[in-house]
Amino acid sequence: MRKSRGYEIDVHGQGRITCAEDGLRRAADERVDVDRGMTETDLPVLYSFRRCPYAMRARLALASSGLKCALREIVLRDKAPEFVEASPKATVPVLVDAAGGVLEESLDIMDWALGRHDPEGLLPTDSEREAAMRALIADIDGPFKIHLDRYKYPNRFEGEGPVDTEAERAAAGRIIDELETRLKASYWLFGDRPGYADLAILPFVRQFAFVDKAWFDTQPWPQVQDWLARFLASDRFLSIMTKYPKWQTGDPVTLFPD
Ligand SMILES: N[C@@H](CCC(=O)N[C@@H](CS)C(=O)NCC(=O)O)C(=O)O
């Protein structure tokens, strides 16, 4: 089996601050302050939901950056009033930074965390690669997610007429075909190390795979199956899937990453 340099070595670590660039110094200072006993009001707050793939990608980026935040576990059918007040659109994840700025989109949270500190080099280094990566993620967040939801939750769409779940699965599968082609050329989506696109996309492929894992495992997608298996077995993935009780006002701070 080919070895991934990044996921075996770097991704499991917390990263070290060695760069003297201003933003990185700020991130380093924040971490030191946490160690000295920072209070919750000083920390960015991440409203999250364990099983949400959008929240997973945000937690993966935060875990990679090493930036600490106070995690508040949300239950979607019983959302904390503080969460809805911070973000009336009330979708997870939401990050409220120390200055009160609110980020309501998972990709914005990834960009925020990695823009401040990217010790594992997840962000693309050139604009051409960045454009290709963003286009691929848009395919996942757009058509793939539409077909995935109709495949996984057909009852939600009953009002629009009957849902042909096999057709929806096949349509999503055509996007998996594209990932398979890409993963034949490189061990991770954009090279020999995991990058931003892997972390942004894997939680959705996981969701698709587990609708019917026995079916997924028999499809002609050996590279995608291996890529997903590596991700699911990684310490990083396990570390972002810790179970937390539903957050409510007055609870002690849950530091993330811990
Ligand atoms: N575009 C948003 C989508 C987030 C989203 O739809 N999250 C779902 C959970 S996976 C949610 O919060 N839905 C609201 C609800 O079910 O009430 C993002 O990228 O953060």
Class of domain 127-234: mainly alpha
- The per-residue pLDDT for range 109-137, each reduced to its tens digit, is 999 999 999 999 999 999 999 999 999 99
Distance CA 224, CA 179 (A): 7
Give residue 38's pLDDT. 53
Give residue 191's pLDDT. 96
Residue closest by Cα to atom 2 of ligand 1: 105
Q: How far is the CA of 237 from the centre of ligand 1 (A)?
A: 20
* Type of residue numbered 95: L
User: Domain residues of the chain, as ranges?
Assistant: 7-121+239-256, 127-234
Distance CA 257, CA 2 (A): 29
Give residue 20's pLDDT. 30
- CA end-to-end span of the chain: 31
* Type of residue numbered 66: G
* Ligand 1 atom closest to Cα of residue 76: 17
- List of residues 6+ apart from 9 with CB closer than 8 A: none
- Paired residues of 188 in beta bridges: 191
Give residue 1's pLDDT. 43
CB 67 within 8 A of CB 54: no
Domain 7-121+239-256, CATH 3.40.30.10 — does that match?
yes
Pocket of ligand 1, candidates 46, 48, 54, 106: which has the most ligand atoms within 8 Å of its Cβ, to mutate?
54
Distance CA 172, CA 210 (A): 14
- The per-residue pLDDT for range 213-246, each reduced to its tens digit, is 999 999 999 999 999 999 999 999 999 999 999 9
The verdict on the CB of residue 91 being under 6 Å from ligand 1 is yes
Q: Which two tokens stand for residue 31?
A: 């971490």
Q: How far is the CA of 146 from the centre of ligand 1 (A)?
A: 13
Residue closest by Cα to atom 9 of ligand 1: 52
Q: How far is the CA of 54 from the centre of ligand 1 (A)?
A: 7
Residue 65: count other Cβ atoms within 10 Å of its Cβ: 25
Residue whose pair of structure tokens reads 């949400």 in the numeric block = 52
Provide the phi-psi class of 10: left if phi over 0, else alpha when psi is between -120 and 50, else beta. Answer: alpha
Give residue 39's pLDDT. 59
- List of residues 6+ apart from 155 with CB closer than 8 A: none
Q: Which two tokens stand for residue 224?
A: 């995608």
Tell the burial category of 139 from Cβ atoms under 10 Å away from its Cβ (0-12, 13-18, 19+).
Answer: middle
Helix, strand, coil percent content, the chain, rounded in steps of 5: 55, 5, 35
Separation in Å, CA 42 to CA 1, 27, 49, 99, 253: 45, 13, 22, 9, 11
Residue segments in the chain with a per-residue pLDDT below the cut of 70 = 1-41
The verdict on the CB of residue 54 being under 6 Å from ligand 1 is yes
Give residue 127's pLDDT. 97
Q: How far is the CA of 103 from the centre of ligand 1 (A)?
A: 13
Pocket of ligand 1, candidates 91, 103, 110, 140: which has the most ligand atoms within 8 Å of its Cβ, to mutate?
91
